[in-house]
Structures are given as C-alpha cells and as structure tokens.
Structure 1
Amino acid sequence: MKKATASMKKSGSGQQAEEASPSQMIDARIEELKDWRGEALARVRALIRQAEPDVVEEWKWRGVPVWECGGIICTGETYKSVVKLTFARGAALEDPWGLFNSSLEGNTRRAIDIHESDKIDEEALKALVRAAAALNMSAKASRSKK
C-alpha cells in the first residue's frame, strides 16, 4: 500500500489542492510516530477493522483518528506515554474483560490507555468494538423509527 503524508497534494494544474484521505492520514500518523505508539495504533486499527469490516475511518479535531459505524465507535489519540482509545458511548457498554482503565468517572465515554509494555487482549477488544458498533446501529435504528 502506498504511504501518504498528511500534507496537501496539488493536482497537475497546481490550482486545486486535494487533501489526503482519512485513511492515508492515519497511515501517515502511524509512520511518523516511529516507535511503540505507532505499532500500538497500527495494531488496534487492524483489530477494529477485523471486528467491524464496515468501519469508516475519519480524521477529526486536527489530527485524531476516528472509527465510525452508525456513529463514533472510538478515537485513537497518541500521547507521550500512552495510546488512548476513547469509546464515545463506552459507559453504555458492558466490559466483562476490564479493558476500560481511563475516563471512568463520566456518564458517556470510557477509554483504554495502552502503555508501552501492555499486551492487548485482542479478542476482548474486538468484542468491545463489535458491541460499540451494535449499540450505535441500534440507536440509529430507533431514531429512524421516530
């Protein structure tokens, strides 16, 4: 797969600027990190795509990877010592695996902070992603019936 940078690309005429796609911008973020955070972000991205093949990748808020299916499933922020997966409606999700370890005090979101030495429970994360997508789709279906 061809790597893209997050910068603007100019067309042949030089008059129209074409921005990289959200997926290309996520690729560029992973590549620019060049450390464990890039590897962790790439791994969770792959797991999200496996769990929910219809997921749509977005790039919001000036540089945050976002995965959506019927609404936001989660975001993937990178900080100096953590990769943070924030589930938009995490407080409404069952978490029998105990993956949520951050942003536990709110009424809506929940997050998973992944540190350098952490091992990702891949099956649990995929189940959580599927549950988040199902919650979004059920909410979307109930809104459309009104």
Structure 2
Amino acid sequence: MKTLRTRTTLAVALGAAVLALAACKKEPETMNTGTVDPMAAELANAAPPPPLPMIKSSHPYRCKDNSLIYVDFMTDDVSANFKAKQEAPITPLKAPEKGKPFVSADGKTTITAGEGNTITFNGQSCKFG
C-alpha cells in the first residue's frame, strides 16, 4: 500500500512540475527568418580572393652537417613550408617579396634559394639530388 501511495505522490508531483513549466511562457517564440544582409551589395561587388598557393616543388635537402631538411616551395614564390624531420610539424616560411629569403614567424629559420639544386638553411649550404 505504501508503494502505491509513493507512486501516486510522485506522479502528482511530476504532473504539477510539467504544468508549471508549460505555463512559463504564454507568447509564441519569434525567430528572425529574414534574409536581409546589410553587406550584400559590398560582397557582390568584392573582388574574388586570391587563390591559395600550391606546392611548386618539394625536396629533401642534405646539408653540410649531413642533416636532412624538407622544404616545399609554393607557387606564389613568397611562401614555403619547412620540416626539420620528415615526420616533424610544418613550419611556414614567408619572404617579403619574390627572390628574398624565406623566414619563419619567430625568425629562427631562414632559407635562401640558391642556384640550381642548392639552398642556404640558417647559413649552411644544402643540396638535393
């Protein structure tokens, strides 16, 4: 008998809670479904973004100290990706303009493209091939 009374009490309490929550908000929820974009005209007349650079050449280089480095030169001629080991994370390098040295954001890595199959990595000569 006691369990029946407990169940009834729980059912009544649950019903009262549901009714109380249902009565909280009388007005319907409104949502802004308009398609007005204040920048639509500017975006329609904007120039397309420049294409992302792709890998132009990718080579492992052996340096004078017998270490291997990996460099990907990009098609924009001012970007390169550097890895100190094959499985190491990529360090992006940027040159201020075409033909200038590629430098990492922290300034610790510098690569200068040389003649033919050589580059200079932090002051030492490196070759591929």
TM-score, scaled to structure 1: 0.32
Higher relative contact order (CA 8 A, sep 6+): 1
Structure (1 or 2) with the greater strand fraction? 2
Larger Rg: 2
TM-score, scaled to structure 2: 0.34
